[in-house]
Amino acid sequence: MEVPDDHPRKASLEVRHLLTDGFKAGLVAEAGLIAHGRGEAFDYLLGERTHPFADRACRAAAALLVLAKNPVFSVNGNVAALCPKEVVALSEAADAEIEVNLFYRTREREEAIAKKLTDSGAKNVYGIGASTRLLGLSSPRALIDKALKNADVVIVPLEDGDRTEALRKAGKKVIAIDLNPLSRTAQTADVTIVDNVVRCMPLMVRHAKALHGKTDEADKIIRSYDNKKTLIEAETTIRKGARPA
Ligand code: ATP
């Protein structure tokens, strides 16, 4: 459905439509629509714009990716519906593998998401019929494929707190993208980008390209980055209530 140009909530409604279309196409789970609603509420309070604390976190995330040996982008249905091209662009800019990793895992949804990503240019997508188990989680959301198993740095947009903790316990560095700075995911990750995934992905791609191969600079960025400060600034911004740009 076309949103009229003069609609004051055009951008937000268009993103919503990507989700409902993704639901109809079998990418997005019912609960994924509800999760998006929670994200929208936080985004509203953030003024629906990228704040300096989110840009700093994007740069730190890009630095972690530059220093990683086996970075992996963990993709769920919402992310595949919202920004499949940016997932591919970031995986290319950061030499990262892509793995489908679902809370509500069915073979049909895995395959629909993999197809969406390959149609958007991904050369290889892991996670279809995954059979390795991540310790500390109950089935089927514990299932991971060999990309995530071997990963040292994992990007988890819109992730669930238990799995973020399990990934950390498995020794991986976690980059979260989550509009709620209070979620367990946001609080547990090494780098938390408190921003809408549709806004921060192009930004991360730019940072990843700019830092490509610059390991000394990336190391410096990581040493001076403080994720607690990011979370406090994000929460303070939300509590004060930000104005739209
Ligand atoms: P946790 O288990 O980490 O405490 P939760 O149970 O609150 O998280 P989930 O339903 O597992 O949340 O995941 C949805 C999360 O994703 C929410 O924190 C929501 O704010 C966030 N979210 C939803 N849509 C977006 C989006 N477009 N961009 C960034 N974050 C989003």
Say how many Å lie between the CA of residue 79 and the centre of ligand 1: 11
- Alpha-carbon span 63 to 75, nearest angstrom: 20
Q: What's phi and psi for 98, nearest 5 deg?
A: -115, 130
Cα 8 from chain centre: 27
The strand pairing partners of 72, in sequence order, are 97, 154
What confidence tens digit (pLDDT) does each residue in 24-76 have? Answer: 999 999 999 999 999 999 999 999 999 999 999 999 999 999 999 999 999 99
Question: From the CB of residue 132, how many other CB atoms can be counted at a distance below 10 Å?
Answer: 11
- Alpha-carbon span 181 to 199, nearest angstrom: 16
Confidence of residue 168 (pLDDT cuts 50, 70, 90): very high
Cβ distance 191 to 57 under 8 Å? Answer: yes
* Contact residues for 186 (Cβ-Cβ < 8 A; gap 6+): 176, 178, 180, 192, 194, 231
What confidence tens digit (pLDDT) does each residue in 169-196 have? Answer: 999 999 999 999 999 999 999 999 999 9
pLDDT at 211: 97
DSSP state of 154: E
> Does residue 1 surpass a pLDDT of 80?
no
Say how many Å lie between the CA of residue 167 and the centre of ligand 1: 17
3-state secondary structure of 174: strand
For ligand 1, whether the C-beta of 177 sits within 6 Å is yes
Domain 52-240, what fold? Rossmann fold (3.40.50)
- Alpha-carbon span 65 to 173, nearest angstrom: 10
Q: Give nearest CA residue, ligand 1 atom 20.
A: 39
The residues spanned by each domain of the chain are: 52-240
